[in-house]
Structure 1
């Protein structure tokens, strides 16, 4: 179990997924796919959470987050990868509790996958950070920090 509450971060992400601009199933799916692509990588997750928090704030839906919630997920520390994995489960649980549908057919899923890659590329380019220009937002496994052994 995580040593902090994942619910506020999952709630913020669910607000973002649920509040897709045109409230279409494809838009919600695109946002969820964007999270799935970066959810296990602390750096990429941090970029997405940063953008989500500001998008919600600018839309007048202030996320009720303490910065330590975000810090906990993006620091490099033993076993934090487990918390990032659990965040995904908490997000799905929150979406289910709210009755937010993200199920689509195969064609729409392919469209959402492509659109999520574009969304993440936009987040990287909007940051103005030249180091992000070459980030491969699809290859999160190699960049994940796994810590085996020890406590």
Structure 2
């Protein structure tokens, strides 16, 4: 499956980095997208590529993964320590990922889902309850 490195800015201008997975034989119409986030102190390379590759090879959808701020390839806000976990900021960053994904070429902004596992499972419930752009929530904890 084609994979592309991506980055986007959060509301406070912190750069988050991730990967966009798309199906090899994508249909001509815009694709739905699933934004996948990981659990407590994990990085996106931990299991998310395996799941994203499986989903995009079997379903006509795109998948966006990224590292939480301060983890993996993503930046920390200036002055903040690395590997600091602030749930409200991580949920806000997920909303920023929705904004980023909705502007991607070939993505249907009316078909955005979020998938979180472990600790991230709570984040997707919170984001999905507050952000009307999110149409599907999968919490795997």
- Choose between structure 1 and 2: higher strand proportion: 2
Q: Which has the larger radius of gyration?
A: 1
Under a length normalisation based on structure 1, what TM-score does the superposition of the two structures give?
A: 0.34
- Higher RCO (CA < 8 A, seq sep 6+): 1
